[in-house]
Amino acid sequence: MELTELGWDGWFAEQAGKMCGAVRRIARITAVDRGRYLVRDEQGEVPAELTGKFLYTAASTVDLPCVGDWVCVQYHDADTFASIHDVVPRRSFLRRKSPGKNIDFQMIAANIDVAFIVQSCHFDFNVRRLERYLVMVNEGHIEPVLLLTKTDLVSATELERMLAQIRGAGITARIITLSNETGEGVDQVREVVVPGKTYCLLGSSGVGKTTLINLLVGKAELETRAVSGTGEGRHTTTRRHLVVLDNGGLLIDMPGMRELGMLVRGILGAGEGLDNCFADIKALAASCRFADCSHTNEPGCAIRMAIENGELNPEHYQSYLKLKAESEFNEMSYVDKRKKDRAFGKFIHSVLKQTRK
C-alpha cells in the first residue's frame, strides 16, 4: 500500500517539509487506546508509543496525536514497533470540550475530508443536536453529509416532516436517507466515498453506524482491534480507529457522542463553525439598521422582523443564541485556564532552576 492510498498528498508533504529527517518515516495514526497507538505506512501496521521528549514538549492534549494524524516515526526491532517523534500539521480536525467541568479541548480525529452525521428517524432525531454536530464539523473545515437512518420505521409523511425541519433550520448540507433493512440509500453513500479520502461517522449509539460500516466494508461483522503492548487486538466498541474500505476509501469510526460540550472558537478565534452553521442568521444580522443591534427592541432589526414574518424559525434562533453564549463562556474560561497553566509552569521551572544551583 502506498502512502497516497492512506490519504497522503502534496498538501501534507508541503506541511511536513523536513520534519522527519533521514532516519524517520511518515506514518498515519490508525488507532488510539489509553495512550497507545497503532501506526500504518507502506509496510503495514505496528504498535507505537510517544517519545519522552514529545510528551515533555507538548503544551496540552491538543498537541498529542489522534486518529487520522500523520506522524514522524522511527521504527525499532525489525520494524515491529515505532516511536512517535512529531505530528504533521492538520488540515482538518474534530474536537470538543473535554467531559466534566474542566475547560479544555479533547481532540477526536484529524485530517477528515467528509463527516457523515448520522441520526435515526426512529428515536434519535433532534435538529438541535444536529446543529451542534454541524458547528463542530464546520469549525474543523470538514464537509458535512447528513444520514437519516431507519427510514423503514417511519411513514413517508413523517420522513418528509423531518426533512422539512432540517431545511427550516437553515441547514443546506446534503441529506441521504437510509434503511439498513432494505439497503435503500447505501449505494448513494458508496458514491460519496472515493479512494484516498478520509471519512468519519458521527452520531449517538444505536443509530446504525456499525451496521452501515459493515455494509460499506462488505463484512458480516465489523472487526475491531484494541491496541495492546504486543500489538495483538481484542474486540472493543469504545475506541476510535481507521478502517480501510474495499473501494479504497478510509473511514474513521468512533464511539457515539450524545453530550457535545463544545469549544467552537478558541484555536481559530473567530467562531467560523458557528457562523457557517447559522449563515442565515449572520446574513440577516448584517441587514439590521444598527451595526451593534442586540436584536431585542431596536428599530429596524432584521432578525426580529424575520421571526415576526415567519421567515426565521424562532427555535433555530434560540439555538444559535445558546450555542453562542456557551462558546463565549467556554472560550473565556479556556483562555483563563491556559494563562494559569502557563503561570504555574513558569513557577515550577523557576523552582527547579533554583534547586539545581
134 vs 297: CA distance, rounded Å? 30
Q: Which of 160-164, 237-241, 313-317 has the lowest mean pLDDT?
A: 237-241
Q: Which of 15-24, 44-53, 163-172, 185-194 has the lowest mean pLDDT?
A: 15-24
- Predicted model pTM: 0.73
Dihedral class, residue 115 (left if φ above 0, else alpha if ψ from -120 to 50, else beta): beta
Write the pLDDT tens digit of every residue in 300-353.
Answer: 888 888 888 888 878 778 777 777 766 666 655 555 555 555 554 554 455 445
Write the pLDDT tens digit of every residue in 19-56.
Answer: 887 789 999 999 998 788 999 999 999 999 999 999 88
Does CATH number 3.40.50.11900 belong to domain 272-348?
no
143 vs 133: CA distance, rounded Å? 12
Q: Sign of the C-alpha dihedral, residues 67, 73, 76, 79?
A: positive
Write the pLDDT tens digit of every residue in 110-129.
Answer: 999 999 999 988 888 888 88
3-state SS, residue 73: strand
Which architecture, in CATH terms, is 3-87? Beta Barrel (2.40)
pLDDT at 159: 94
Specify whether the CB–CB gap between 27 and 75 falls below 8 A.
no
Determine the Cα angle at 89 with ends 29 and 24, to 5°.
60
3-state SS, residue 173: coil
Write the pLDDT tens digit of every residue in 137-151.
Answer: 888 899 999 999 999
Superfamily name with CATH number, domain 93-253 = P-loop containing nucleotide triphosphate hydrolases (3.40.50.300)
- Identify residue 266 by its one-letter amino acid code: G
Which residues fall within 8 angstroms of residue 318, CB to CB, at 6 or more apart?
none
Q: Is residue 236 scored above 80 in pLDDT?
A: no
pLDDT at 74: 94
At 226, the pLDDT band (50, 70, 90 cuts) reads: very low
From 159, 199, 201, select the one nearest 179 (Cα to Cα).
159
pLDDT at 228: 46
Q: Where are the domains of the chain?
A: 3-87, 93-253, 272-348
Biggest alpha carbon–alpha carbon distance for the chain: 77
Q: How far apart are the first and last CA of the chain?
A: 54
At 265, the pLDDT band (50, 70, 90 cuts) reads: very low
pLDDT at 332: 55
3-state SS, residue 36: strand
Q: Is residue 252 scored above 50 in pLDDT?
A: yes
Other CB atoms within a 10 A radius of the CB of residue 197 amount to 17
Specify whether the CB–CB gap between 88 and 78 falls below 8 A.
no
